Structure formats: C-alpha cells, structure tokens
C-alpha cells in the first residue's frame, strides 16, 4: 500500500466516522470493556494521530510482538519518574519507595484480554489528552514525514513505536484499548481513556484507587495467541528481560536475570559473569575472556562482551552469526545487531547498552548511520586495546584466544583498513627463533632484528618441519635472520597485501626480491664464471617453456636449486592455480625463476653431461626443476615425475 493511498483512505475513514458518530450504538459491557462514567466526553484524535492509527491498523505488519516491549518500556519509564521524584523530595501520592515499584501483566485467555499495569507516575486528564491525542510528545509527525520521504519505497512499518509513538503499537493487536490511570499528583483524579483506534477516544472519570496506570487490551482474533501466558513470557525474555523493575505475568516474576553490565565491575563476581554468559549466549562452556567497560564520551555506553570458549567455524559449522545485542537503557533495540561490530568480529558475544540512541528514531531499524559508525569505532577500538593489553599482561591467555580465534583477526587485517595497524600488532606466528608452539608478534620480531636486516621475512608451509627442511631457509641461517612461519594461506595473503609494517617490507622467503640476503665472499663459487654462464644458458634453452628465468643463486648453501616466485609467494600461486582449475582457466603461467647452486655436485654433474652432449643431461635438468617445484609445494604432474625417475634408475643401474 503506497503512502498516498494510506493517507487518502484515512481521510475517507474520518469523513465516514463524522457522519456516523451520532448513530454509534452503546457497546456491550461484557464484550467491549469497562465503560466510562456518565461525565465522559468523546474527543477526536488530532489529524496526524488518526493518520498514524490508520497506518497501524490497516497496513501489514510482521513483527506485532514489539507492542509489548513498547508498553513495558513506557511502564518502566513511569516507575523511574516516581523514583526520581522521591529522590528530589517531591510529594507523591502513595509514597515513592523504589522497592515496591513494578510491572504486572495479567493474561485472560477466556476473555481474550491482556492487561499491563504499573505503579509508576500515572497520568492526569490533561496528560492523557496531550500524550495520547496530539503530536506534542508522540513523534507522529516525524513518522509521517518519514513516510513522505520514502514514498517510492514500501513503508518500513518496523519503525512504529520507534518514533516515540510506542503506545499506538498496541492497536496492531487490539480491537479496543482501555486505560485506567491515577496520577502521582495528590490533587489529580483517576481517569479512564477508551479507544478502538478509529479516529476518536472517550475520556472520563476512572476507577483506579492506587497510583499508576493499567492498559487493558482487548485482542483481535488474529492476535488471540497473545492471550497465552507462555507467549507473553517468551516476548518478555526476548525484549524486556533486563528492565530495571520486576515484571510478572499472572503473578510469576519473569525478569529474574540481573542486567550486570550496568553494575560496577568490582561488584560482579567471576561466577556471576559466567552464569550471565551462559544465560545470554545459551552456552555450556566457559568464555575465554570478557570485557566489561563503560564510557561517557563521545557516547554514553555500557558494554559487556565475551569471547566464547570455542570457535565452531573451525569444525566446519556454518558461518558464525553475529552475537552482540544492542540495548538502550536495558531495553532490547536490536538483536544480533550488524552495526555494532565489523563482520570479522562476529564471534564476539554480549551486550552494548547505549543511552545516546535517539529514542525518536528507532528501536528496530536504526537510521542514524553517523551515530552507529561512532558506536562501531568505539567498541571495536576498545576490544583491540583489550586484546593488546591481554597479550602484554597474560601471554598464555592471549595465545589460547589466538589459537581459537586468530583466524578472525587475520580476516580483519585483510579487510578492515581502518583498524589494520592495530590488528597487525595482535598477529602471532611461530618463527625460526622460537621453540615449537611458542608464538611471537611483529613488534617482538622487529626488536630482535640486527641492524643489517632491512625486511621482515616469512616462510609458508604445512608445518614447521616442512618449512625447515626446505631450501629457502639456508641463506637466513647463514645470515642469522629470523623467519616467521606461516601455516595458512590467509597468513600469506594478509602479509603480502599489507606490504610493510613499521616501514619494514614484508617478504616471503620464496619471493624473487632484491631485499633478500646474499651469501658473502666467504663462500666463493667453485665453478668458473664463464662455465657457469654456459650452464645457465643451456638450462634456459632446455627449460624455456617451464620457467621465466634461470640464474646462479646467491642464497643456496646445501640444496642444488630453488624456485622463486615473481611478485607473490608460492602459497598464493598454489591458491591461484587451484582457483584456475576450478574455473577451467589456464593454470601455471611459468612465471618463476630457477636459481641453481653451481657449487653443488648435482649441477656439476649436469654440466659434465652437457659438455659430453649426453642426452640424459636434459632428463636430469627436468628432474632438477621438478624437485624444485615440489620443494615449493607446487602441483607437479606425477607422470612426468615417474618417467624421469625411471630414466634416472636405468641410468644409475647401467653404470
């Protein structure tokens, strides 16, 4: 239904009501609720309120249950006003003892009614007219302006009750609403307000004897399920479990869990934190870590965040859902909010309660993007600072966290440009200078670098043994340069895409790069330069379709040859190769450089075969390349490997 249609039908409804008003029959007390006194008067809603009610009643609305959250929030506000007036010494009808304040909900499945009562501030006759009959405080004009601004889109009716018009959401489920209220002002009289949401309301003398407000809702047929105590309990547990006053349903207290995030950290025990985590997250394990903090600037907020005991994504489960709920003054605004934290922090569980959320905007669909961006930056920054402090003060606990959730921080380092530098401080790796299982960070690595070292080096492989047995670390052992060990492709992706850290280039040891260390003059070549050049030229001709370049290595000590990747690392080459195979595209572009160790007996033997023009020299050269490819972890055609090995066996056995 378009906004123009809604407003047009509203006007038609109003005209029909005006012509029929004098002919409206008296309602049957048994089915229509408590009738007003004889002194009651019938009043028309202000035009904007009539438009709003028509939208609520006649438009489709999928999440009708939020009406209860709105009414409970209003009741809690009424109780809070009494508490405040008592604190400042105001005279209040019935006294202001805060321990007696509460909200009672009564469900009658036979009468199909639902009543929400509080003993808060109540309302005077003038306040009923001002709050419920006009736009003075309701925010209806803001809501209608929103519809006008979005006339090209379907109305986002989840905004009802979020422009400060929460009371009117009751008409989504009510055929009639009866309000009995008695103000805390000792001079005020009890009032009764009745409306069917059709453009008018009746206001008269009420029957309430105690201060507060009762809202009796006569449910529509399609909302009859709400006349069930169990249904009401579920809604309260979802939205209003942490309101600051007791909420009962048919005399059973429902909100039994305390909102500990608003308490001082020193007042909450470890056991209380653990129990709250299990309740909130529906978990059975203990959290690895928790962060409980509050802030007054630039936003006023209180937060309690947990790191779960395990990362379920590691076990092949579906992508983890967001786990942080957004509250405002202990009332749920949005469950599993996607705006509080970036995607890579989806594993965090907890609550962020921001008092600065504008209540005239939304409790379901938040629109103030600037405020949410500020909130996102605040909470994310605080988490990063928390993990940095944990890594410094309790390295064992941080390493336990890293083992479970480090992959998420790597994801953040690859995708979150705003927080990248802070995330890089948190990355952890094994290295050539740590014991197996011991982790180190980039800052510690830089602190250990000798003055002659100009870059941060890393080597990739399936495990520590595989990396250390390969040819790539030989020059680094000779130079006493530390090398970080990376075991996952995402590690290389992150480090190569970042490029540098604190002005130090990040280089894979299997890269072709000028920043790599070279062997010095203490290990001179045993093959003459002219002879080595001839061998290189011959290998280029033999392997011209398989490598980009062949040259004498300055980094090999014990191995005969090594294959270097140009512009990336071999782990990334493997990833690209795999992706190409899946997509049916050409694979290896032969963009590698083969470096040979002319001091090694294998190369000297190949050179002798070359000089003697022995056909087996070509086979040996090809096997040399295959061995280098396998050492690099690249995919090799097993048929070529088997053929070459058979020729080598035949040659060896014939001698």
Q: What is the pLDDT of residues 434-443, one digit of tens each?
A: 999 999 999 9
Does 162 or 386 have the greater pLDDT score? 386
Q: In what order do the strands lie in the sheet with 456-460?
A: 430-431, 483-486, 456-460, 504-508, 500-501
pTM above 0.75, yes or no: no
3 state SS for 390-450:
HHHHCHHHHHHHHHHHHHHHHHHHHHCCCCHHHHHCCCCEEECCCCCCCCECHHHHHHHCC
Where is mean pLDDT largest: 250-264, 311-325, 327-341? Answer: 250-264
% of the chain beyond a pLDDT of 70:
80
Q: How far apart are the first and last CA of the chain?
A: 92
For residue 431, give both structure tokens.
């290295």
- Mean pLDDT computed over 554-574: 82
For residue 372, give both structure tokens.
């949410």
Residue 629 has what pLDDT? 87
- Mean pLDDT computed over 209-232: 93
Q: Which residues touch 290 (CB under 8 Å, ≥6 apart)?
A: 273, 277, 304, 305, 306, 307
Whether residue 452 is predicted with pLDDT greater than 60 in this model: the reply is yes
Which of these ranges, 203-212, 514-523, 589-598, has the smallest mean pLDDT?
A: 514-523
- Mean pLDDT computed over 595-606: 92
Binned at pLDDT 50, 70 and 90, residue 116 comes out as very high
Whether residue 150 is predicted with pLDDT greater than 70 in this model: the reply is no
Rounded-to-integer distance, Cα 436 and Cα 304, Å: 35
Residue 359 has what pLDDT? 45
Average pLDDT, the chain: 82
Q: What is the pLDDT of residues 335-379, one digit of tens each?
A: 888 889 999 999 999 999 988 876 444 444 455 567 888 999 999
Residue 483 has what pLDDT? 96
Residue 290 has what pLDDT? 95
Binned at pLDDT 50, 70 and 90, residue 147 comes out as low
Binned at pLDDT 50, 70 and 90, residue 5 comes out as very low
Whether residue 456 is predicted with pLDDT greater than 50 in this model: the reply is yes
Helix (H) or strand (E) holding 118: strand 113-118
Q: What angle do CA 290, 296, 297 make, to 5 degrees?
A: 105
Residue 581 has what pLDDT? 56
- Mean pLDDT computed over 491-512: 90
Whether residue 196 is predicted with pLDDT greater than 80 in this model: the reply is yes
Q: What is the pLDDT of residues 269-309, one digit of tens each?
A: 999 999 999 988 888 888 999 999 999 888 889 999 999 99
Does 404 or 45 have the greater pLDDT score? 404
Does 204 or 34 have the greater pLDDT score? 204
Which of these ranges, 194-198, 432-436, 500-504, has the smallest mean pLDDT?
A: 194-198
């Amino acid at each position: 239904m378009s906004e123009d249609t809604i407003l047009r039908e509203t006007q038609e409804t109003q005209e029909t009501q005006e012509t029929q008003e004098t002919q409206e029959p008296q309602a049957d007390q048994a089915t229509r609720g408590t009738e007003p006194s004889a002194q009651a008067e019938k009043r028309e809603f202000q035009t904007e309120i009539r438009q709003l009610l028509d939208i609520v009643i006649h438009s489709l609305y999928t999440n009708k249950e939020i009406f209860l959250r709105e009414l409970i929030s209003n009741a809690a506000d009424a109780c809070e006003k009494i508490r405040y007036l008592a604190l400042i010494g105001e005279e209040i009808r019935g006294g202001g003892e805060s321990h007696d304040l509460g909200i009672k909900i009564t469900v009658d499945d036979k009468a199909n009614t639902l009543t929400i009562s509080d003993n808060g501030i109540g309302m005077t006759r003038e306040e009923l007219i001002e709050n419920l009959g006009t736009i003075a405080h309701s925010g209806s004009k803001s809501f209608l302006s929103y519809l006008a601004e979005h006339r090209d889109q379907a109305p986002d009716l989840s905004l009802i009750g979020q422009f400060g018009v929460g009371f009117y959401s009751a008409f989504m489920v009510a055929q009639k609403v009866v309000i009995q209220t008695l103000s805390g002002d000792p001079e005020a009289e009890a009032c009764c307000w009745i409306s069917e949401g059709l453009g008018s309301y009746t206001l008269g003398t009420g029957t309430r004897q105690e201060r507060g407000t009762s809202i009796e809702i006569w449910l529509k047929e399609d909302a009859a399920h709400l006349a069930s105590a169990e249904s009401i309990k579920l809604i309260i547990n979802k939205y209003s479990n942490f309101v600051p006053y007791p909420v009962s349903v048919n005399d059973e207290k429902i909100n039994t869990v305390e909102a500990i995030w608003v308490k001082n950290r020193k007042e909450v025990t470890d056991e209380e934190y653990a129990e709250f985590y299990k309740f909130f997250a529906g978990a059975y394990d203990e959290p690895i870590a928790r962060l409980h903090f509050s802030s007054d600037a630039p936003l006023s907020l209180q937060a309690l965040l947990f790191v779960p005991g395990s990362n379920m994504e590691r076990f092949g489960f579906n992508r983890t859902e967001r786990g942080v709920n957004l509250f405002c003054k202990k009332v749920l605004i949005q469950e599993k909010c996607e705006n509080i934290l970036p995607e890579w922090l989806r594993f965090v569980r907890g609550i962020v309660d921001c008092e600065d959320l504008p209540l005239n905007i939304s409790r379901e669909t938040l629109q103030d993007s600037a405020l949410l961006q500020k909130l996102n930056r605040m909470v994310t920054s605080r988490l990063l600072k928390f993990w940095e402090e944990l890594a410094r003060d309790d390295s064992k606990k941080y390493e336990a966290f890293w083992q479970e959730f480090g992959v998420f921080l790597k994801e953040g380092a690859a995708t979150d440009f705003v927080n990248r530098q802070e995330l890089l401080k948190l990355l952890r790796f094994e290295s050539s200078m740590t014991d197996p299982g011991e982790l180190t960070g980039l800052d510690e690595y830089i602190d250990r670098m000798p003055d002659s070292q100009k870059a941060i080096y890393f080597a990739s492989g399936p495990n520590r043994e595989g990396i250390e047995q390969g040819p790539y670390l030989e020059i680094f052992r000779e130079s006493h340069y530390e090398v970080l060990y990376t075991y996952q492709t995402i590690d290389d992706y992150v480090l190569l895409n970042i490029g540098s850290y604190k002005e130090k280039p990040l280089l894979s040891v299997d890269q072709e790069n000028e920043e790599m260390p070279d062997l010095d003059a203490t290990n001179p070549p045993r093959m003459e330069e002219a002879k080595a050049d001839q061998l290189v030229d011959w290998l280029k001709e033999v392997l011209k379709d398989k490598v980009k370049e062949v040259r004498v290595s300055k980094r090999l000590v014990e191995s005969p040859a090594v294959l270097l990747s140009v512009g990336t690392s071999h782990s990334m080459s493997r990833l690209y190769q795999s992706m190409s195979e899946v997509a049916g595209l050409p694979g290896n572009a032969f963009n590698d450089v083969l470096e040979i160790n002319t001091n090694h007996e294998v190369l000297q033997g190949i050179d002798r075969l070359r000089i003697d023009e022995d056909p087996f020299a070509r086979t040996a050269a090809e096997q040399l390349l295959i061995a280098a490819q396998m050492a690099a972890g690249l995919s090799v055609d097993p048929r070529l490997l088997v053929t070459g090995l058979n020729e080598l066996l035949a040659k060896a056995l014939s001698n």
